[in-house]
Structure 1
């Protein structure tokens, strides 16, 4: 149920974005048609809006990642990098322990 709700919300957002983009493109084209803007200016405006959209997307992605990392940490999970470091440390300690146990032979006196 939650998965379906998330999908619907996602599709709603995508639909709104596409609809907004189409309206913006039509508005810019109308301005070109009326001589209020040159095609070069229209392209420049569209490029600027695309850059702004990409910037916002990067910001949202970075914020989402940071929030997700925090939630995962709150649940008690560790980052893979930390896990790998601990795993390597345990392996080194086990190896040292084995070497200590094998040590030099003792003479029976």
Structure 2
């Protein structure tokens, strides 16, 4: 599973780099032909980066929820589940200690 996630990350990273290079080439071409100014090209690129970061955040959250759902479906415990169990165990241990102290008194 870990290898699958790693490969997916690298695939996305490669696509992002290739996409950025294509956009930059396209913008450079528009600037060289005089269709847009260098400032407009820079603003457009910044706008694309900002939109990309927003989408990345949305996709990351959706991916996280999807993976959590898969883990839940497989019956795997979450860190919250483990923390809740540890708290219950600690509570039960204290109750046993108190019960033992009361029996010894």
Shorter-chain-normalised TM-score: which range? 0.7 to 0.9
What is the alpha-carbon distance in structure 2 between the residues aligned to residue 8 and residue 89 of structure 1?
Answer: 39
Alpha-carbon displacement from aligned partner over 1:41-63 (angstroms, at most 9, x marks no partner): 11000000111111111111111
Superposed CA RMSD = 2.8
Provide closer, same or farther for how the CA distance between residues 60 and 84 of structure 1 changes in structure 2, counting only shifts above 3 A.
same
Alpha-carbon displacement from aligned partner over 1:71-107 (angstroms, at most 9, x marks no partner): 111111121122112212211122112211321657x
| Alignment of structure 1 residues 29-48 onto 2, 5 Å | 29-48=28-47
Q: Going by fraction, where is helix more abundant, 1 or 2?
A: 2
Q: Under a length normalisation based on structure 2, what TM-score does the superposition of the two structures give?
A: 0.79
**Higher Cα radius of gyration:** 1
- May I ask how many residue pairs the two structures share in their alignment? 105
Query: Higher relative contact order at CA 8 Å, sep ≥6: structure 1 or structure 2?
Result: 2
Q: Under a length normalisation based on structure 1, what TM-score does the superposition of the two structures give?
A: 0.77
Q: Aligned residue for 2:65?
A: 66
The worse-fitting range, judged by mean Cα deviation, of 59-68 and 74-83 is 74-83
| Alignment of structure 1 residues 72-83 onto 2, 5 Å | 72-83=71-82
Provide closer, same or farther for how the CA distance between residues 89 and 6 of structure 1 changes in structure 2, counting only shifts above 3 A.
closer
* Alpha-carbon offset, residue 21 of structure 1: 2.1
